[in-house]
Amino acid sequence: MRRFLVPVTALLLVGCSSPEPEIDDAPPPSAPGLQVEVVTDGLDHPWDVVQAPDGTLLVDERAGGFTAVLPDGDVREVTADLDDLFALGETGLMGLALDPAFAQTRRLYSCQGDTAGDIRVVAWTVAEDWSAADRAADPVVAGLPLNERSGRHGGCRLEFDPDGALLIGTGDSADGAVAQDPASLGGKVLRADPGSGEVSTWTTGHRNVQGLAVRPGSGQVFSVEHGPDRDDEVNLLRDGANYGWDPDGEGSYDESVPMTDPAVPGAVEAVWSSGQPTLATSGATFVTGSQWGALEGLLLVALLKDQGVLALRLDDAGAVVEQFRLPELDGTHGRIRTVQQGGDGALYAVTDNGEDDVLLRITPGG
């Protein structure tokens, strides 16, 4: 049974770690302390979280299932037909996005493996009382490659851009030819019209896109992806750009090549790279609101293997000028799959430890 727990505030500041020695900063002295509260527990590998205009939080779980936390604290299962869900390894029920007009349409989008042999984006209509979700468009987009043997590198993050296009970050399904293949939807960031289902390739040359974040007021979109043995990346996306992942070793999946391979013509360098070892970067969000003080404007990136949240300060052009870890989340809750800012201004994060995972609420003032 899921239950509510009392707020917990981390009191000890843990030493910061940095994958890039030239940028190894502590949090700004003026940064507010953070209060970290467990909203609900008993989750199993949650993947994403979104907040509706009425304040309801919706979480999905990779093996299948939606859970809603209502503004009054009630936690309920949202029944949905997931009989065709393919869940294996890294693939299952993954990214979520609310329609920009959700208050009127009640429309929700999910990205999920399908037993038909691909990964698909599905639209749902959610009941007013959050008791159920019914398929409204099945699928909106189909044909994203699926590794049916292992579920490896399934992506799949969803995010709306300022123009109303649905961005879809995809994985390469651990197939060496996919990321550079213009005929494949894998290893790409796609732009889709959720009304017509029309989809186009926006960027190519990605390994396994785990995060997408739109920088408020700028139109800039950043992707976050996993590297092989080195070089997790944050990339500033540009229409038509190639980000250089090309592991096609004459039919094999050669993970010894660089994440941004200089042999790929025009390959665009990452704005941030972990170097070695990797941190297993995942979901990302920008922090907005004056209540965050010196933390406002940061790009926050969830860390799985390195168990925490990385904060990156970017200049107007998107270059990293400062980085540090949020000390209150540094190893305190294990693997963080996603961090997102809700409409109420709070940050929400889900853990991915596989044993009694939780949804966290993070606010300034700890």
pLDDT along the chain (366 residues), means of 10: 33 33 69 96 97 98 98 97 98 98 98 98 98 95 98 98 97 97 98 96 98 96 96 98 94 93 97 96 98 97 97 97 95 97 98 95 91
Asked if 110 contacts 124 with a C-beta cutoff of 8 angstroms, the reply is yes
Q: What pLDDT does residue 47 have?
A: 98
54 within domain boundaries: yes
Q: What pLDDT does residue 138 have?
A: 87
Asked if 10 contacts 323 with a C-beta cutoff of 8 angstroms, the reply is no
Closest to 203 (Cα-Cα) out of 227, 187, 219, 216: 187
8 within domain boundaries: no
27 within domain boundaries: no
19 within domain boundaries: no
| SS3 state at 211 | strand
- What the block records as the tokens of 6 is 């009392």
Question: CA 189 from chain center: how many Å?
Answer: 13
184 within domain boundaries: yes
Domain that holds residue 162: 38-364
- What the block records as the tokens of 66 is 């939606």
126 within domain boundaries: yes
Distance CA 69, CA 71 (A): 7
CATH number at residue 125: 2.120.10.30
- What the block records as the tokens of 188 is 């790409």
63 within domain boundaries: yes
Closest to 353 (Cα-Cα) out of 331, 324, 327, 326: 331
9 within domain boundaries: no
Distance CA 85, CA 214 (A): 29
Asked if 260 contacts 243 with a C-beta cutoff of 8 angstroms, the reply is yes
Distance CA 176, CA 186 (A): 11
Q: Please state, in angstroms and as integers, the Cα–Cα distance from residue 184 to each residue in 124, 144, 146, 199, following that order.
A: 26, 8, 11, 12
Question: What is the CB neighbour count within 10 angstroms for residue 30?
Answer: 8
Asked if 107 contacts 92 with a C-beta cutoff of 8 angstroms, the reply is no
Asked if 272 contacts 260 with a C-beta cutoff of 8 angstroms, the reply is no
Which residues, 6+ apart, have CB-to-CB distance to 57 below 8 Å?
39, 49, 50, 51, 68, 69, 342, 348, 359
- What the block records as the tokens of 272 is 């941030």
Q: What pLDDT does residue 9 have?
A: 33
Question: What is the CB neighbour count within 10 angstroms for residue 134?
Answer: 14
Q: Where are the alpha helices (DSSP H) in 136-289?
A: none
Distance CA 94, CA 96 (A): 7
Tally the domains of the chain: 1
Distance CA 337, CA 352 (A): 6
| SS3 state at 184 | coil
Distance CA 214, CA 225 (A): 15
Q: What pLDDT does residue 366 have?
A: 64
